Amino acid sequence: MAIISRFPFSQASQTMTESVLDYMTRLGRAAREASRVLARATTAQKNRALQAAAAALDAAREELVRANREDLEAGRANGLDEAMLDRLALTPARIDDMIEGLRQVATLPDPIGEIRDMRYLPSGIQVGKMRVPLGVVGIIYESRPNVTIDAASLCLKSGNATILRGGSEAIHSNQAIARCIQLGLAEAELPAAAVQVVETTDRAAVGALITMPEYVDVIVPRGGKGLIERISRDAKVPVIKHLDGICHVFIDQAADLDKAIRIADNAKTQRYAPCNTMETLLVHASIAARVLPPLTAIYCEKGVELRGCPRTCELLGSHVLAASEEDWSTEYNAPILSIRIVDSLDEAIQHINRYGSQHTDAIVTENFTDARRFITEVDSASVMVNASTRFADGFEYGLGAEIGISTDKLHARGPVGLEGLTSEKYVVFGDGHVRT
C-alpha cells in the first residue's frame, strides 16, 4: 500500500508491513479509547484544545501553504481541473476562515451533559435525559482541506473522537492541518487519538472505516453523489447523508410581488452549485402573468436557461424551452431552472412531495393559512416562508458550523451541527426505589 508520509504527532503511524485493515483497526481501537476520555473531558478542556489549535494554525501559515503547494503541484501534474484545484487551494483567506471557525466552535455552548425534562414519576423515581457524545465519528470527504477543521472541531466540541479520511489529492494539506490540531489536543492534555487523519491513500481504508461498527458509531460522507451512494450502500455503520438537493420555491397567489421576485432570483442565482439552490420554480396560475415576465428578464440577463411546463411556455414564448418529465426531478447544479404553473397550493405541495428530494422548499405568501399548510404538509428537512432556500445551512441556522446536511428522517434532519453529533441517554434517580 502507498504511504504518503509519516505523521509525527500521531500515535497511529503506519509501518510498511501492516495491512490496511490492521492499520484501520488500530486507528479504530485508538479512537474508541480516546472517545471514553473525550466523553468526560470538561468544557474548558475542549475549548482550550480548539483555541490552541487555532493559534497553531495561525503560527503555521507558511507550513500550511508549503504543504498545500505540494498538493496543488501534484494535482496539476495529475490533470485535476481548475474547479478541483480551486477547492483544494489553501489561500490566506481560507486559513483565516479555518482559524475563525475553530474560535467560533469554542464559543458555542457545550451540548454534552445537558439534562432535560427531569421529573418525578408516580413510582417516585425521577427520570430525565442527558445529552452524550455518539462516540467515534468517521468523516469521508473529497478535496477541500477546510473540512478537516470543520469536522474535527465540531466532533471535538461534542465529545466525539474523529477519524478523518480526506481526498488523496489533499493529503499533505490535511496532514499539516492535523499537526496543528494535535498541538491543540496536547495543550489541553487530550489524547492524540481524539482526532486521527488516515495516512494512507489506499481506497481499502474507506472500506474498512465504514464496516467497523465496533469502533465507529457513525459515518458522515461529504462529497459527490457517487461517493455518498457507494458509502451508503456498503456501510455497516449508520450514515448521516444527503444525496440530492432538488429545492423548490412556490410563489403563492397571495405572494407579495417584490418578495417573490427577490427570493426567486436569490434562490437560483446567488450560487448555482450548492445543494440548497432552487431547481424548480412553482407559480400559482393567478399570479403567473405578473411575476414571471419580470423574473424572466432577470434570469435571461444572468444567463439562466429556463425550461417550462406548457403554460409557462405559452406565457413566456421564446425565452423558455419545453421541460421534459425528467426536468422535474433533476438537480442541475447549473444556471438552468425548470418552471411550472400550478392551479392551487395543493398542486404545489403534491409536486414538491412527489419530485423533490426532501431537502429545502419555500413558499412566498402573505396568507397565514397557506403558510401554515405549507410548513405542515411539505415533507422536507427545511420548510421556509418568505425566505430564500439558500439559507439552509448550519452557519445561517446558528449552529456555528455544520458537519453536513441530512435528508434522512431518522436521527438528524437538515443541517447537522453539534446536536446531530450527540445522543441522549435516560438518567434515573431514586432513593432505594424498586419495582413492584
The nearer residue to a copy of itself, 267 or 292, going by C-beta atoms, is 267
Q: Helix 146-157 and helix 43-59: axis angle, to 10°?
A: 160
- The minimum distance between CB 201 and a copy of itself, in angstroms, equals 29
The number of residues that bind a copy of itself (CB under 8 A) is: 69
- Residue 177 found at the interface with a copy of itself (CB under 8 A): no
- The minimum distance between CB 239 and a copy of itself, in angstroms, equals 10
Reduce the DSSP state of residue 317 to 3 states and report it. Answer: helix
Residues 178-237 close enough to bind a copy of itself by CB under 8 A: 217-218
The nearer residue to a copy of itself, 35 or 196, going by C-beta atoms, is 35
Greatest CA span in the chain, whole angstroms? 80
- The minimum distance between CB 158 and a copy of itself, in angstroms, equals 12
- Based on the number of CB atoms within 10 Å of its own CB, is 196 exposed (0-12), middle (13-18) or buried (19 or more)? buried
Q: From CA 409, how far away is CA 99, in angstroms rounded? A: 33
- Based on the number of CB atoms within 10 Å of its own CB, is 2 exposed (0-12), middle (13-18) or buried (19 or more)? exposed
- The minimum distance between CB 123 and a copy of itself, in angstroms, equals 6
Phi and psi, residue 258, nearest 5° = -60, -45
Cell readout for 217 is 458509531
The nearer residue to a copy of itself, 38 or 67, going by C-beta atoms, is 38
The nearer residue to a copy of itself, 184 or 245, going by C-beta atoms, is 245
* CB 384 within 8 Å of CB 401: no
Q: From CA 132, how far away is CA 185, in angstroms rounded? A: 20
- Residue 388 found at the interface with a copy of itself (CB under 8 A): yes
* CB 288 within 8 Å of CB 250: no
92, 224, 293, 430: which one contacts a copy of itself (CB under 8 A)? 430
The nearer residue to a copy of itself, 49 or 421, going by C-beta atoms, is 421
What single letter denotes the amino acid at residue 320?
V
- The minimum distance between CB 5 and a copy of itself, in angstroms, equals 34
- Residue 381 found at the interface with a copy of itself (CB under 8 A): yes
- The minimum distance between CB 264 and a copy of itself, in angstroms, equals 10
265, 279, 370, 402: which one contacts a copy of itself (CB under 8 A)? 265
166, 191, 245, 415: which one contacts a copy of itself (CB under 8 A)? 415
DSSP state of 2: -
Which is nearest to 137 in space by CA: 156, 162, 159, 158? 162
Reduce the DSSP state of residue 420 to 3 states and report it. Answer: helix
- Based on the number of CB atoms within 10 Å of its own CB, is 258 exposed (0-12), middle (13-18) or buried (19 or more)? exposed
- Based on the number of CB atoms within 10 Å of its own CB, is 82 exposed (0-12), middle (13-18) or buried (19 or more)? exposed
Interaction pattern, residues 19-58, with a copy of itself; x per rule: CB under 8 A? -----------------x--xx------------------
Residues 293-322 close enough to bind a copy of itself by CB under 8 A: none
Cell readout for 302 is 444572468
- The minimum distance between CB 54 and a copy of itself, in angstroms, equals 22
Q: From CA 45, how far away is CA 190, in angstroms rounded? A: 8
- Residue 135 found at the interface with a copy of itself (CB under 8 A): yes
The nearer residue to a copy of itself, 70 or 377, going by C-beta atoms, is 377
- Residue 386 found at the interface with a copy of itself (CB under 8 A): yes
- Residue 368 found at the interface with a copy of itself (CB under 8 A): no
What is the binding site for a copy of itself (CB under 8 A)?
A: 36, 39-40, 113, 119, 121, 123, 125, 127, 130, 132, 134-135, 217-218, 238, 256, 258-259, 262-263, 265-267, 270, 353, 362, 364, 373, 375-377, 379-388, 390-392, 396-398, 408-411, 413-415, 423-436
